[in-house]
Structures are given as structure tokens and as C-alpha cells.
Amino acid sequence: MNPYAKLITLTSLALGTTITISSNHWMMAWTGLEINTIAIIPMISKSHHPRAIEATIKYFLVQATASATILFASMINAWSTGQWDITQLTNTTSCLLLTTAIAMKLGLTPFHFWFPEVLQGSPLITALLLSTAMKLPPISILILTSNSLNPPLLTLMAILSAAVGGWMGLNQTQIRKLLAFSSISHLGWMTIIIIYAPKLTLLTFLLYTLLTSAIFLTLDTSNTTKLSTLLSAWTKTPMLNATLMLTLLSLAGLPPFTGFLPKWLIIQELTKQEMTPTALIIALLSLLSLFFYLRLAYFSSITLPPNSINQTKHWYTNKNTHILIATLTPLSILLLPLSPMILSSV
């Protein structure tokens, strides 16, 4: 991509996100979402491959529909209350429409079908932006309107997202699709607690962004997009493969690692809210995700394929080396002992 075009695109992304998360007026929030949508489209379609163009069209249609629904919901609320303030969402129809629109933007079940396909058609760095930065504006709107949302509807969506993210990820061989279903599953964890502890949702999102960034940058460095290439990635970057295994186990939420912290706190908060059955269901559903994380970790840690594979081994390191990996990977693995300090700041 042309450096000037890349600069304009990244600046627009930052501007759109900033406008949405800092606005208190529906029109400004909608404007920020639209800037974000327009800015990310050139990054998805920059390879000019038919798969990338298909992903771009799918992404545009879904995001345009969701943005129109948000505008419609805000207009209905303004018509009935006379206010354009985001926090003054009192109309029942507007609440349902907004929940549906945000679920479409985020890729929550049952509006998740577009997300794995778009991620599969995008480059790894663009897929990272779609999984992390593009989720922040809709999540900020959900946090601002959390007092007005319907708890049973959000809980149902969250449990379905955790279930679908786990089940659909079991039979995937494409790593981008697998990480897309991982994102859907994690969104379920964020959504289930957003009404009761919005700050905890934000902490979960930040830690998820940290872990996912480390994984995507590692995969981009080793130029790995399939399980079959992950098998032989040790020939290029043996140390990165070892840290990738630990980061994947952290994303799975295993106790010694950073990823255990948000799940532990969410289950604790759900129990405090007397939602023990819900906490039990979502904890059991996370075992489905754990299975494919373990499979990925096994593939990344194996040094020799158990049988001969018909593909050329990659012996040279990719030129795309990311300095951020050196910072993100230790934080992704070793942040759990610092949890008292993190909790006191939250």
C-alpha cells in the first residue's frame, strides 16, 4: 500500500475510534463508526485478490446495515424522549434495535457469520485490526448504554457466542478462521458481564487485545496462516514458536498465564450477582475453545511432523519482523502475578 494512503487510513481509524469513544451524542458516535468502516475497507482489499474483494463487500454490507440500524434506533429514541444523549436510552424498541446493531458490528451470535469469512480474506495485520481496534467503538457504546440494555437478551447472546465460538472452531484448519471463532467466544465473556461490571469488560478487552496482538504479530513474522505451515514454522523461528505456544495457552485461560485473570474475575462477579448456573455454563463452554487452543499449541510446539508432508519447508525468516513482539509476548504470559496492582487501578 502507498505510504500516504496507509498514513491517511491509519489516521482515519484513530480519528473514528476517538470520536466514537469520546462522544456523548448519537450523531457523533455514528459519524465515528462510519469513518472507521470507510478507513478499514482499503486495508482489507489491498491485495486485490477475489477473496479479499469478497471479504470487503461482506464487511461493508454488514457494517453499513448495522450503522443504519444504530441511526434508526437513535432517531426513535430522540423522537420519544427528545434527547440525543447516548446515556439517555429509555425507549424499549431503541434498546432492542441498538443491541441488534452492536451485535452485528461486533460479530456476536447469531450475527457472527460474516466475521470468520472477512478475517479469512484479510491480511494478518488487517485481521488483527478487525479483531481488536475495530471492536473498541461498539464496545464503548455498549458500556455507555449498559444501564438501559436488556440483561436476559445479552446473557443469551453471550452464552450462544461462547458455544458457537467453541464448536465452530473445532474443525478449522485455517488459523485466521480459528482466531475469528476465538474472538467470538471471548466477546461472549465480555458481553455477559457488561451490565454488572463495565470496567471488567474493558479490562477483559484490553487483555484480549494484548494476547491477540502477540499471536497475530508472531504469525505474520513466520508467515503462517494454516495448521500445515505451522507444523514446519519451527525451521524459521524456533524461539517464536515456543513463545507462541505459551501465548496460545494464555489465550485459552489456563491459570499460570495472563489470560486466566479476566475469566477468573468474570466468574467471581457472576457468582456475586447470584448467577452461578450462568457462570457454570460459560465456564464449561470455554472447554470447547480450550481444545482447539491446545491443538494449536501442540502444532506450534512440535519440532518434527509425525509423518512426511508434501510441502516445501520454509528455511528463511520472513522480512516482516515486529519489535512489539518482544514486549507483548512477556506481558501475555507473565502478567498474572501483577493482578492485585491491575485490580487496584481498575
**pLDDT tens, position by position, for the chain (346 residues)?**
788 888 999 999 999 999 999 999 999 999 999 999 999 999 999 888 889 999 999 999 999 999 999 999 999 999 998 889 888 888 889 999 999 999 999 999 889 999 999 999 999 999 999 999 999 999 999 999 988 888 899 999 999 999 999 999 888 889 999 999 999 999 999 999 999 999 999 999 999 999 999 999 988 888 888 888 887 777 777 788 888 889 999 999 888 889 999 999 999 999 999 999 999 999 999 999 999 899 888 888 775 555 555 555 555 555 566 778 878 888 888 877 777 777 766 5
CB 179 within 8 A of CB 119: yes
Judge contact between 12 and 41, C-beta under 8 A: no
Q: Is residue 19 part of a domain?
A: yes
User: 95, 151 in Cβ contact below 8 A?
Assistant: no
Q: Do 68 and 195 share a domain, yes or no?
A: no
Residues 194 and 299 in one domain: yes
Cα–Cα dist 177/172, whole Å: 7
Q: What's the pLDDT at 276?
A: 92
Question: What's residue 309's pLDDT?
Answer: 55
Same domain, 58 and 157: no
Residue 76 near residue 93 (C-beta atoms within 8 A): yes
How crowded is residue 51: how many other Cβ atoms within 10 Å of its Cβ? 12
Please give the tally of structural domains in the chain.
2
Q: Could you give the CA distance from residue 86 to residue 106 in angstroms, rounded to a whole number?
A: 18
What's the one-letter identity of residue 200?
L
Distances (CA, A) of 115 to 109, 127, 128, 182, 183: 10, 10, 12, 11, 9
Domain assignment present for residue 140? The answer is: no
Sort residue 253 into left (φ over 0), alpha (ψ -120 to 50) or beta.
left
Can the peptide bond before residue 137 be classed as cis, meaning omega within 30 degrees of 0? no
Q: What is the pLDDT of residue 297?
A: 86
Residue 63 sits in the same domain as residue 104: yes
Is the residue at 143 inside a domain?
Answer: no
d(CA 82, CA 194) in angstroms, rounded, equals 27
Do 67 and 168 fall within a single domain? Answer: no
How far is 64 from 69, CA to CA, in rounded Å? 9
pLDDT the model gives residue 227? 84
Write down the pLDDT at residue 310.
Answer: 58
Domain identity same for 189 and 255? yes
Residue 201 belongs to some domain of the structure: yes
Residue 3, pLDDT score: 84
Residue 135, domain member (yes or no): no
Q: Mark whether 198 and 298 lie in a shared domain.
A: yes
Question: Do both 234 and 168 map to the same domain?
Answer: yes
CA–CA distance from 116 to each of 113, 122, 158, 187, 338 (Å)? 7, 10, 17, 14, 33
Residues 157 and 88 in one domain: no
Residue 175 and residue 82 share a domain: no
How far apart are the C-alpha atoms of 34 and 105, rounded to whole Å?
A: 11
Considering the domain architecture, whether residues 180 and 301 belong to the same structural domain is answered as yes
Phi-psi region of 123 (alpha: psi -120 to 50; beta: other; left: phi over 0): beta
Question: Could you list the residue range(s) of the whole structural domain that residue 94 is in?
Answer: 1-122
- Asked if residues 305 and 232 have their Cβ atoms less than 8 Å apart, the reply is yes
* CA 295 to chain centroid: 20
Q: How far is CA 301 from the centre of its chain?
A: 24
Asked whether residue 89 falls in the same domain as residue 209, the answer is: no
